[in-house]
Structure 1
């Protein structure tokens, strides 16, 4: 599994966690007697998860750029070695 695939798995797991947390909060409506407070918690969780997903996308982009850099570097090395 390459780095991009690992990031996709991490992102999917993170989104699943958000669904579980929101579902759990909805199940505990009595605990959050004020629906505004409950919705505020849900919004806060969604905001945090969205931020983490954006960080994962940036990391994915960085890895993709690094992989591309590595491929270009390897091609350059191969080219250099073939000229020997």
Structure 2
């Protein structure tokens, strides 16, 4: 999933806990003025989101994160081919 398809749950239009929303730890917040690039972690999985500049996320805290499930692509770990 691309960073622009990962959202701060407070600003997401469609959020369904357990389906497209997880709780993640904020490792790094890069404030770029018009947006924030947020480095997140759930367990051993790290990913990046591009959040609205209005987001109040802070390093070290946990936040609810929403994924646009229509934009997720999965790949076979061995063959590297797209599954869907």
TM interval, short-chain normalised: under 0.3
TM (norm. structure 2) is 0.22
- In terms of fraction of residues, the more helix-rich structure is 1
- In terms of fraction of residues, the more strand-rich structure is 2
